[in-house]
Amino acid sequence: MAVTKIEGGVNSAAGFKTCGLRAGIKAGKENKDMAMILSDVPASAAGTFTRNLVKAAPVKWDSMIIENKKTVRAVVVNTGFANASTGAKGYENSKRTAEKAAEVLGVETEEVLVASTGVIGVQLPMDTIFEGIEKLSNALSYEKTAGDDAAEAIMTTDTHSKQAAVSFTAGKEKCIMGGMCKGSGMIHPNMGTMLCFITTDCSIDRDLMQDILRKVVNDTFNMVSVDGDTSTNDTVILLSNGMAGNKAITESSDEVEKAEFEEALRAVCQSLAIEIARDGEGATRLFTAEVKGASDEETARILAKSIITSNLTKAAIFGKDANWGRIMCAMGYSGASFDPDKTDIFISSKNGELKLVENGVTTGFSEEKALEILGADEITAKCDVKDGDKAAVAWGCDLTYEYVKINGDYRS
């Protein structure tokens, strides 16, 4: 496999400039709060969006553009306010954001995607947004630092910015794909619940790219949960501008070539998805659930997600408590079918692996060893339901005092 992780992010692929800076939307003196991505040439665009019935205005705007299969030149992102539950005026404000960027950048309004994140129900401060767009257009750059700035500018309660990039080949050409995303509350299955922007210089048929994106998002971002709440603003955008010069990948291309593109996208998305889970609000631990031996993939997915979503299990992981009963219980109420009396449960970390449960009952494991394993900052629960050969992985985090603190006091 020629997919290789590299240093970089959303402007690593050829022909993408980015920037991030403080426009003055968010309270606090220093936080960056706006980012921009510009492709030198029209890029084909794929996207997946929140399945929440309450869709933010920018989600409605972007969905319209993606559904119309338009090419895209730029993306404008703001934090501070989500522009959700803002009615007709909110949609108008998303459109005006695109119009302003189009005017400043010399592109079409419908070539501009927008994204917002932050407090729900408040109108965007348009004067500040407009000033921000002017500043952004002057700061665009191919430099790595400009990618770093963009990744930083889209953060809300994230404790660090999140980027990933890979190199791969298409035909004989070397291609780059890179992305950035933000978490870290309202993170739950049903469209990973975050903002994520990925760019590539690889040329690929737009519909094929959309299909691959949907599939990969399903296995990565949609298998992450921080708190069970699905946001109104979830957005994953993938832009491809073809500047690598490869012959466009199409449905009829060689399977190996299609697989390599998918593998590249999976590497970027999985890396970003894990970073979102690890950086869940208040989280101190990455908590992964691997389910195997399921009769079908959907069963494995439901079981894995139920484990990492259970508040009681998450609190136990925070408390380094090998409380496997809560894992079994979470599988039991997931709605998926399995036989508890055949199920084995292990915990695993860099400090070792321990079988807690065999065929539904305790192994009489060493609590001391369990405590040692649970002392690591990346914990995996492995469950074998011995009912088939399908598997799934889900990523979450522990539930901590800090989560409550962050969310009890978010607006103030």
Q: How far apart are CA 77 and CA 100, in angstroms?
A: 13
Q: How far apart are CA 161 and CA 177, in angstroms?
A: 18
Nearer to a second copy, 211 or 358 (CB): 358
Q: End-to-end distance of the chain based on CA atoms, in angstroms? A: 49
Helices (H), 310-387: 311-318, 324-332, 367-374
Residue among 385, 12, 352 nearest 163 (CA):
12
Whether the CB-CB separation of 90 and 83 falls below 8 Å is answered with yes
Q: Per CB under 8 A, which region of 29-37, 61-69, 254-262, 320-328 contacts a second copy? A: 320-328
Q: Per CB under 8 A, which region of 163-171, 175-183, 223-231, 248-256 contacts a second copy? A: 223-231
Tell me if 323 contacts a second copy by CB under 8 A: yes
Tell me if 312 contacts a second copy by CB under 8 A: yes
CB of 356 to a second copy, least distance (A): 9
CB of 324 to a second copy, least distance (A): 6
- 79, 86, 117, 193: the active-site residue: 193
Tell me if 375 contacts a second copy by CB under 8 A: no
Residues 6+ away with beta carbon under 8 Å from 330? 306, 307, 309, 310, 312, 313
In this chain, which of 46, 114, 177, 186 binds a second copy, going by CB under 8 A? 186
Tell me if 337 contacts a second copy by CB under 8 A: yes
Residue 207 structure tokens: 């519909």
Active site annotation includes 250: no
Tell me if 67 contacts a second copy by CB under 8 A: no
Nearer to a second copy, 168 or 365 (CB): 365
- Please tell me whether the peptide bond between 184 and the residue prior to it is cis, using omega within 30 degrees of 0: yes
Tell me if 333 contacts a second copy by CB under 8 A: yes
Tell me if 368 contacts a second copy by CB under 8 A: no
Q: How far apart are CA 93 and CA 99, in angstroms?
A: 10
In this chain, which of 329, 351, 372, 390 binds a second copy, going by CB under 8 A? 329
| Burial of residue 19 (number of CB atoms within 10 Å: 0-12, 13-18, 19+) | buried
Q: How many residues does the chain have?
A: 412
In this chain, which of 197, 287, 324, 346 binds a second copy, going by CB under 8 A? 324
Footprint on this chain of a second copy (rule: CB under 8 A): 51-55, 82, 84-87, 89, 119-122, 185-186, 188, 190, 227-232, 309-312, 315-316, 318-319, 321, 323-326, 328-334, 337-338, 340-341, 357, 359-362, 399-401, 403-412
Active site residues: 193
